[in-house]
Amino acid sequence: MDSPLNSNSTEQMYSSLKAQEIYTRLLEQFGHTEWRLPLDAMDELISTILSQNTNDRNRDVAFNALKNKFSTWELVRDADLQDVINCIRPAGLANQKGARIQAVLREITAERGNLDLSFLKNYSPQDAHVWLTHFKGVGLKTAAIVMQFALGIPAFPVDTHIYRVSGRLGIRPEKMNVDQTHSHLAGLFKPETYGPAHLNLIRLGREICHARKPECQKCPLTDLCDYYSHLFK
């Protein structure tokens, strides 16, 4: 009889192999999905704060309005708060996000003396993650996006689509929360696959595995999916 330790090890190995198969099939289905226009780390940080609780289009409208009005992040930091709020209204929660953005910019300036985040490229993934998330309003997903897509530091961001899809596929425990899922999925996928895996799982969630009515007949993963297998029990 397997000990609990051996059982956990076997389960982890199975989940990792399953994750790699999911990665391969989604790559065949969607190809190498590209991240939107690459941004530097500070731009990505502000853009991702703006993306909270809104869609990509509204985020981009707000971000571009902010960049068009203010030529540097130093000017955003020192601007009248209302001017910042007016720029980012399309992203929603403008009062909250405007104050949050200015607070983060001021805190980074106080700590570093400037608004250049390239120094984080010399940090370990763990240290970069700790540094980014100690600012209020910079959660695990925001930090992971900045790390993975702007700094080239391996991290696995988890949004609502990935959280839902990973639960249905059975590659995370059912009761695991979103925060725990970041490190869990990072342990299942290979670091060099984090970017494409993240983007293709989002595509799966948006285009096929919808929250209310998943289109299982279009999915390339039905034989790997716990949710699908339960439909026919």
Contact 20, 187 (CB under 8 A): no
Spell 23-61 as b/e; 16+ CB within 10 A means b: bebbeebbeebeeeeebebbbbbbbbbbbbebeeebbbb
Assess whether 141 carries a catalytic annotation: yes
Distance from chain centroid for Cα 48: 9
**CA dihedral (196, 165, 188, 134) positive or negative:** positive
Using CA atoms, how far apart are residues 47 and 49, in angstroms rounded to an integer?
5
Choice among 18, 141, 175, 218 that is catalytic = 141
Contact 26, 206 (CB under 8 A): no
Using CA atoms, how far apart are residues 98 and 107, in angstroms rounded to an integer?
14
Distances in Å between the Cα of 16 and the Cα atoms of 11, 21, 226 are 9, 9, 15
Using CA atoms, how far apart are residues 17 and 40, in angstroms rounded to an integer?
34
Catalytic residue numbers, as ranges: 141
